[in-house]
């Protein structure tokens, strides 16, 4: 029987330190499972364990703390990448027997990847991983499921979740297929309600942790992140000091000032009650303190003034938020 469910989701365009947060939460709490509910190997999580950096793309971060790690039915699986990740984790002495996949997750084929590379990448700036074509076949009801693939047999999870669950989001709120700047979105549900596809009632949800950085970043093509941002000296400085390159593609991320209106909307729509704002140390290093509010740039003399302003705006506009945590990079919560 499931007791409680916690969820960690992104409040921006991905790359918000969700993997690090999940890693910390797993370390601090007694979870029976850590589960991923959407996406495929188009996502990337960077995790620090005993001061050593690890990177994963599909497998949930619970694996770093010997917790059963389940890839859910609304995820898509690249078999080759999955086994490469298993080898990487095994080489680093993690227990890969804890990793399981829902039999109803879908398989990314070579055809999906070819379609992505030849058509969608140029139009939408995709990661070329075949994600969108795979989801397209899923919803056409012509896709291939994990249960139909012999080589994944030993990893199939046919049981039910129980105990205390932590759900790990992929991408972020503004990449959601419904909420994002369509068609410049991902192809799945990134909001916390999507986690219920793992097989639990929303009434069991306890805490929803929302992750965001103190500045905005975006990988790929999106008119809301125009190319001229790459020519802004201050934003470039933040991107360099913050090492803003994609975990999966190593693409340079476009950097912009935190959009407080979008953040507040994402918090309220997601039902987030604990907000974690990371990388505040990056602004401290570059000594630049700005954000957008009501379509205008607001400047601050120091980090403390900026934090106070953000905190007051969230508290005034987000009635469900009980805690706002400001964190350094890589992460301290």
Rounded Cα distance between 194 and 3, Å, is 19
In a domain, 98, yes or no: yes
Question: What's the pLDDT tens digit per position in 319-328?
Answer: 999 999 999 9
Q: What is the CA radius of gyration of the chain?
A: 19
Name the DSSP class of 3.
E
* Rounded Cα–Cα distance for residues 65 and 51 (Å): 14
- Residue 38 domain-assigned? yes
Q: Which of 17-26, 35-44, 173-182 reaches the highest mean pLDDT? A: 173-182
Q: Per the domain annotation, does 222 fall within a domain? A: yes
φ, ψ at 150 (rounded to 5°): -60, -35
DSSP class of residue 188?
S
253 φ/ψ angles, rounded to the nearest 5 degrees: -85, 140
Residue 332 has pLDDT above 60, yes or no: no
Q: Is residue 252 part of a domain?
A: yes
Looking at residue 249, what is its pLDDT?
Answer: 66
Measured CA distances, 17 to 24, 168, 244 (Å): 11, 11, 12
Number of domains in the chain: 1
In a domain, 332, yes or no: no
The CATH number for 224's domain is 3.40.440.10
User: Which range of residues forms the domain containing residue 95?
Assistant: 2-326
How much is the pLDDT for 26?
94
106 is catalytic: no
Distance set, CA 166 to CA 2, 41, 102, 251, 274 (Å): 11, 20, 16, 29, 14
Q: Give CA separation, 85 vs 47, 49, 51, 60, 127, in Å.
A: 14, 17, 20, 11, 18
pLDDT digits (tens, 9 = 90+) for 63-89: 999 999 999 999 999 999 999 999 999
Q: What percent of the chain has pLDDT over 90?
A: 86
- Establish if 99 belongs to a structural domain: yes
Averaged pLDDT score across all residues of the chain: 94
Summarize pLDDT for 282-305 with one digit per residue, the tens: 999 999 999 999 999 999 999 999
3 state DSSP class of 53: strand
pTM of the model: 0.94
Q: Is residue 331 part of a domain?
A: no
**Catalytic residue among 45, 57, 106, 112, which?**
45
pLDDT at 76: 97
Q: Tell me which of 15, 116, 176, 216 is the catalytic residue.
A: 15
The answer to whether residue 111 is domain-embedded is yes
Mean pLDDT for the stretch of residues 100-118: 96
């Amino acid at each position: 029987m499931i007791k409680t469910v916690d969820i960690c989701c992104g409040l921006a365009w991905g790359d918000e330190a969700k993997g690090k947060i999940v890693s910390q939460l797993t370390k601090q709490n007694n979870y029976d499972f850590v589960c991923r509910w959407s996406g495929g190997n188009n996502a990337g999580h960077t995790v620090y364990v005993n001061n050593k950096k690890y990177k994963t793309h599909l497998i949930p971060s619970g694996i770093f703390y010997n917790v059963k790690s389940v890839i859910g039915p609304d995820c898509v699986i690249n078999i080759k990448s999955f086994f490469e990740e298993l080898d990487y984790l095994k080489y680093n002495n993690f227990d890969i027997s804890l990793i399981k996949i829902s039999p109803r997750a879908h398989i990314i084929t070579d055809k999906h990847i070819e379609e992505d590379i030849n058509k969608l990448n140029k139009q939408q700036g995709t990661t070329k991983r075949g994600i969108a074509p795979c989801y397209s076949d899923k919803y056409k009801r012509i896709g291939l499921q994990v249960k139909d693939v012999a080589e994944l047999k030993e990893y199939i999870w046919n049981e039910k979740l129980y105990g205390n669950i932590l759900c790990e989001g992929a991408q972020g709120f503004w990449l959601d297929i419904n909420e994002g700047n369509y068609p410049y979105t991902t192809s799945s549900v990134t909001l916390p309600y999507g986690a219920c596809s793992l097989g639990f009632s929303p009434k069991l949800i306890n805490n929803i942790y929302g992750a965001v950085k103190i500045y905005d970043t975006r990988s790929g093509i999106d008119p809301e992140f125009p190319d001229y941002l790459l020519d802004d000296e201050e934003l470039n400085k933040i991107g360099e000091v913050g090492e803003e390159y994609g975990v999966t593609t190593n693409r340079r991320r476009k950097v912009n000032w935190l959009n407080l209106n979008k953040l507040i909307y994402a918090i309220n729509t997601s039902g987030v009650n604990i907000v974690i704002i990371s990388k505040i140390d990056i602004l401290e290093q570059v000594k630049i303190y700005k954000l957008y509010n009501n379509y205008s740039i607001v400047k601050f003399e120091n980090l403390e003034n900026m934090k106070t302003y953000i905190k007051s705006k969230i508290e005034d506009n987000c009635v469900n938020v009980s805690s706002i945590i400001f964190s350094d990079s890589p992460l301290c919560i």
